[in-house]
Structure 1
Amino acid sequence: MSLSSLAVFLGLLSYSAAARTLKATTRTPSTQTFFPPNSFQTFEGGVDHPLSRRDDASLADSATAYVQAQLQVNSSAVTFKSGYASDIVQYAYVKQQHNNIPFVNSVANVAFKDGKVVSFGHSFSKPTSIASSTPSISIDAAVAAAEKALNGKYNNIPATLEYLVNSDNTASLVHVVQIRNKQNRVWVEAFVDAHSGQLLSTIDLVADAVYRVLPIYKEDLTDGFETLTDPQDLTASPLGWHNDGTTSFTNTTGNNVVAFYNELESATTNQSAPGLVFNYTQDPDLEPAQGMNINASVTNVFYIINTIHDVSYRYGFTETAFNFQQTNIQSGGIAGDPVLAFVQLDEGFDNSAFSTPPDGQSGEMALLLWDQTIPMRDSGLENDIVTHENTHGITNRMTGGGTGRCLQIAESGGLGEGWSDSMADWMEQTGPTIVDFYLGTYVDGGVPVRSRPYSTNSTINPYTYSSLLDSDEVHGLGEVWANMLHNVLAALVGAHGFSETARTDPSGTEGNVVFLHLFIDALALQPCQPDFLQARDAIIQADQNRYAGANKCVLWTAFASRGLGFKAFDYTDDFTVPSGC
């Protein structure tokens, strides 16, 4: 495949990061959604915007004014979608619209620091024709058409009316409805032409107290269970882990996650003793559903997802940044969306998945059994798999402003896989020597689910930017990005040391603290459907925003060591760094 043809392929292939699986699958449907080409700029210390001199300018007004000025469109063509402020940067998300109807796939994001624009991305388009804004068919007719075409059922989430830019640069008016088929693990947003009734495309939303658990830094049960007392972080979870703002629970239900067996939402695990004691001993000689193994797994999954909630909250994945909570303690975001974790889900073998609908709807984690060994093995007892899946929810929510639509093309989906592997890698590093990381060794009987470990040693892992030419599947693309991030983490830790309290204290200056700040900050900066170059640039701009560019050369050197250097372009390696480094 040539460079140019690969670029087209990576730009047009739709693969949902909103619904991501651990391994490649052949699930249907395969209907593609077109995404217009995007652009992304970073401005280091920042540039002025049209309302810079107005002290009373709101985030919405500043963002829409900047988009109008940059893209030379009038105010009727843009609408503010959402925005929030972190501890250092304000993020705004703007949509293209026509006759007050927003576009599905034409969006912009603007980041401000100290009153200046520090980054700008957009995928606005100029359609050659736009369909009438008055639908010809009803929502009911659109639902019926989508259900028939996708062999599923409408899930009663209110439908919306939006425009969809097509690959021929026309814009269709569409009814947007969510269709599910739980048996086949299908959950999509369907775009039905509001005039013809034809299904045009879809966005896949599925990525293919006292607790006896596997601590987050351990990979799987071969590292040994421990009994942890009150592991919750009350800064991130002030209600604790067993209260959703209205009710206190004595089972694996809380504000951040509800974990249960199979598809039985009532089959949560109850405390084994009064006082929120969840002490269930897992027996590796029994099948996953025998003895106390179900309860041990559900407890572990409940603990891991809550821990990831608390860690990511500390670093910026909060209510305003579109996180997953039943009750939003701080203002901002949409509540009512804790993660629902299906443990030992009886829908096949040898995989796991996370589904990320828009903010306000629960993300769903599906953890399947693996049948490569006797007895079978439970992915709920492999912490790196649970962390991997949960991170899909973080990256899908934070990229593009909480829609779950912005990691859909193949290269963006590959980045999503890489971030998920990288978060698991970060969680399991325990000291200043960043060790090689193997994902998924337990469930597959000692064989990692990735082709190579992530390593700073190019003999052990030779992947570089040009390795994208060797894969057209998101997990293969993700291995390239995850290995780059492994090298970035090692470089930062080498420069600044390692914090053993990074999971609960984000105020340190150590390299692993810096890494996770940049990881989270960059997600909100990058454009919808980012590529590798844009994801790299977002991380470097995130360092400028938070650390005044103190790590610029460390970051460039790490990326350049894997071919993503200053002049990298079109999947051709470059190992150079900017002048001054």
Structure 2
Amino acid sequence: MVFYNRLLSSVLLAILYASYSNAAARPATYSTQNVKDLGNGVKIQMFHPPSNYSTFGEGFDTPSTFSDAPIENKTVSFVASQLKVDSGKVSFKSGYANENGESFGYAQQVHNGVPIANAVANVAFKNNKVVAFGQSFVDTSKAADSKPSVDVSTVIPKVEQTLQGKKNDIEPTVKYLAQQDGSVALVHAFQVENDEAGTFYEAFADAHTGELLSVTDFVAQASYRVVPIFKLDIKEGLELLTNPALTSASPQGWHYAKGVNTTDTSGNNVITYKGATTATTKQSSSGLVFDYTYSPGVGPTEGANLDASRTNAFYLINAYHDTLYQYGFTESKFNFQLDNLGKGGAGNDPVLVSVQDAAGTNNANFATPPDGQSGRCRMYIFTLTNPNRDGTLSNDIVIHEMTHGLSNRLVGGGTATCLQALESRALGEGWSDAVADWFVHSDSPQITDFVFVPWLFNNPRGARSKPYSTSMTTNGYTYADIGQMNEEHYMGEVWANILHNVYAQLVGTRGFSTTARTSASGTQGNIVFLQLLVDSLALSPCNPTFISARNAFIQADINRYGGANKCLLWRVFASRGMGFSAANYANAFDVPAGC
């Protein structure tokens, strides 16, 4: 305790806190709140305590006793010491170690033995040094009594009616929930789904009044401002690929599920189907051959198009799984697999992809529940052309949706609850577009503008307000623009465009790897970019802001590459208004000393 208190009082860390930790000064609307419109006349105000987040560059030393201590002990001890609370008020949630000396711990605040759902902390260690710390712990002096006075069975029917769904098989729990007025409510927490409507919530109902106080929305929608257009699509042609699985990520191949070798579009990582999970596509001939040709001249349900759709989705998400596995989205880091093969994590959560889903049109979404529950991707038919078009045949929208699973799992340590405030959901949209951008550019070193989704509506403008571009004329968005926005997809465009510029600068400076989809071992720009993006998600605090996401990205470079790209990153962020002194949605174009 004395060690940490003395260290944090030092001038050096005071400077670091002043430089990097801006969450408390930021307007609360984006970084701590969100309003969920249920579409039935009910709007729910969602509140998340602001995160205080700091990164520490090369880090500061921890006690020698930490070197061999389990991540659970290090995390609880550090958080308790930093926040001057008893260790019994800190509950370890999850953690893991990387091969390069990094380890990550995620914790939750506890009051009277009850966890506080939205009061969390995350600590990152590098070679026995602390390199990042985020926390949103709250004052519990106004906490409600810890014994419920309303039985959960009387609450569930009312909440089901409000959320227009049914409680699933996950058992309810009792938690605390920090409120905007400084009180801490005792709540019954349970999950409510509507499979037909594509909704999936964790509901928080007051355990003393029965009132629905808040929700966690596990579904990330891909809404479009203009008619959606997808770039990688059926127009570019089909190829018959042989053995595309990477054995390092899927050692038994894609058609293996807990001792069973399948002959349809189901396996350890993903199941693709229409209607029911058993309605998969069977192999077209023996030897696991799925040779179905999609014909864009007829509707998505005609001829072999449905089988081609399920086959494409199965290939895409498996290939995504295998590539991101190379960059650290593995079993112990909360990925999606039925069988985790003894490598950590919860397992029993392959991605379920419903193609040509009947719940909607002209859209797509991905629901990300916590580790151990399947991610659920819904792909819809687009009805704005004749014939209609199948969104599953546009690769970048599928990748966009899958990346919601990546970001929601990695930020917060597998809880899937830490991208709920408006600004953090905007970051989620930006990360999803950025990873789709990365895959689109993964076959060529040429830096070109990225237009999200051009096929479904024959419109070269794409689904976003501007192409992602290094040109200020083509896309002049800066950090300050999000202060004038109030919708997560528009705000997310700003972040995605900044990341597009980061990618361009890294590739222009460090070169391009033609094997980046199958190996993350190089230091070429495209490898570095995706590695830093994935690493930064694990470093980010719960409900990050644009500034904390920037800091996590730069800290990730210090952790993995010794800061080799630090100044390059600062210059790119600064070029779009996210310089060293940027705060409160006001642009700054400065970089730190030494850059």
Structure 1 length normalisation: TM-score? 0.94
Tell me the CA shift for residue 192 of structure 1.
1.1
Contact 2:66/2:128 (8 A) holds in 1: no
Q: 1:76 to 1:288 in 2, by over 3 A?
A: same
Q: Which residue is 2:468 aligned to?
A: 454
SS in 2 for 1:112: strand
Distance 2:196 2:147 in 1: 36
Q: Which residue is 2:450 aligned to?
A: 437
Q: Which residue is 1:528 aligned to?
A: 542
Note the alpha carbon deviations across 1:78-122, whole angstroms, 9 max, x for none: 111110112221000010001221110000000011111110000
Contact 2:219/2:368 (8 A) holds in 1: yes
Alignment pair present for 1:145 and 2:158:
yes
Q: Of residues 323, 333, 337 in structure 2, which corresponds to 1:321?
A: 333
Tell me the CA shift for residue 15 of structure 1.
6.3
Q: Of residues 173, 182, 194 in structure 1, which corresponds to 2:195?
A: 182
Distance 2:251 2:96 in 1: 21
Contact 2:76/2:92 (8 A) holds in 1: yes
Q: Which residue is 2:278 aligned to?
A: 266
Contiguous gaps of at least 5 residues in structure 1: 17-23, 209-216
Q: Which residue is 2:552 aligned to?
A: 538
Alignment pair present for 1:400 and 2:420:
no
User: After superposition, where does 1:163-562 map in structure 2 within 5 Å?
Assistant: 163-208=176-221, 219-261=232-274, 263-429=275-441, 430-446=443-459, 447-562=461-576
Tell me the CA shift for residue 327 of structure 1.
0.2
Distance 1:164 1:375 in 2: 49
SS in 1 for 2:91: strand
Amino acid at match of 1:480: V
Note the alpha carbon deviations across 1:434-486, whole angstroms, 9 max, x for none: 21101111123324111111000110111110111232100001100000000
Distance 1:353 1:371 in 2: 17
Contact 2:92/2:108 (8 A) holds in 1: yes
Q: Which residue is 1:19 aligned to?
A: none
SS in 2 for 1:527: coil
Number of residues of Structure 1 aligned to a counterpart in Structure 2: 561
Distance 2:541 2:560 in 1: 19
Distance 1:469 1:301 in 2: 37
Contact 2:35/2:44 (8 A) holds in 1: no
Q: Percent identity?
A: 48
Contact 1:15/1:413 (8 A) holds in 2: no
Distance 1:529 1:15 in 2: 15
SS in 2 for 1:95: strand
Contact 2:447/2:504 (8 A) holds in 1: yes
SS in 2 for 1:534: helix
Contact 2:231/2:455 (8 A) holds in 1: no
- Taking only aligned residues, the RMSD between alpha carbons, in angstroms, comes to 1.8
Note the alpha carbon deviations across 1:144-182, whole angstroms, 9 max, x for none: 232132222111211111110111111111111111122
Tell me the CA shift for residue 205 of structure 1.
1.1
Contact 2:231/2:454 (8 A) holds in 1: no
Q: Which residue is 1:211 aligned to?
A: none
Distance 1:65 1:85 in 2: 17
Amino acid at match of 1:245: K
Distance 2:553 2:32 in 1: 24
Contact 1:29/1:186 (8 A) holds in 2: no
SS in 2 for 1:549: coil
Note the alpha carbon deviations across 1:240-279, whole angstroms, 9 max, x for none: 0011122111000000000012x22121011011000001
Q: 1:25 to 1:87 in 2, by over 3 A?
A: farther
Note the alpha carbon deviations across 1:187-225, whole angstroms, 9 max, x for none: 1100111122121111111111xxxxxxxx971111111
User: After superposition, where does 1:45-64 map in structure 2 within 5 Å?
Assistant: 45-49=58-62, 51-64=63-76
Alignment pair present for 1:564 and 2:564:
no
Q: 1:30 to 1:270 in 2, by over 3 A?
A: farther
Q: Which residue is 2:50 aligned to?
A: 37
Note the alpha carbon deviations across 1:485-534, whole angstroms, 9 max, x for none: 00000010011100010010100110000001100000000100000010
SS in 2 for 1:33: strand
Distance 2:66 2:491 in 1: 44
Q: 1:15 to 1:497 in 2, by over 3 A?
A: farther
Q: 1:348 to 1:218 in 2, by over 3 A?
A: closer
Distance 1:344 1:421 in 2: 22
Tell me the CA shift for residue 185 of structure 1.
2.0
Q: Of residues 113, 117, 136 in structure 2, which corresponds to 1:100?
A: 113
More displaced 10-residue stretch of structure 1: 373-382 or 428-437: 428-437
Contact 1:372/1:445 (8 A) holds in 2: no
Contact 2:231/2:451 (8 A) holds in 1: no
Structure 2 length normalisation: TM-score? 0.92
SS in 1 for 2:444: coil
Distance 1:27 1:301 in 2: 32
Contiguous gaps of at least 5 residues in structure 2: 1-23, 222-229
SS in 2 for 1:60: helix
Distance 2:32 2:73 in 1: 33
Contact 1:15/1:408 (8 A) holds in 2: no
Note the alpha carbon deviations across 1:277-307, whole angstroms, 9 max, x for none: 0010111110010000011111001100001
Distance 2:555 2:26 in 1: 27
Distance 1:15 1:506 in 2: 39
Q: 1:428 to 1:109 in 2, by over 3 A?
A: same
Alignment pair present for 1:14 and 2:26:
no
Note the alpha carbon deviations across 1:290-332, whole angstroms, 9 max, x for none: 0000111110011000011001111000111111000002421
Alignment pair present for 1:156 and 2:176:
no
Distance 1:30 1:239 in 2: 46
Contact 1:27/1:184 (8 A) holds in 2: no
Note the alpha carbon deviations across 1:400-456, whole angstroms, 9 max, x for none: 011111000111000000000000000010222221101111123324111111000
Contact 2:196/2:358 (8 A) holds in 1: no
Q: 1:577 to 1:6 in 2, by over 3 A?
A: closer
Distance 1:28 1:528 in 2: 29
Distance 1:48 1:101 in 2: 32
Distance 1:403 1:5 in 2: 26
Tell me the CA shift for residue 142 of structure 1.
2.7
SS in 2 for 1:393: helix
SS in 2 for 1:414: helix
SS in 2 for 1:284: coil
SS in 2 for 1:442: coil
Contact 1:32/1:203 (8 A) holds in 2: no
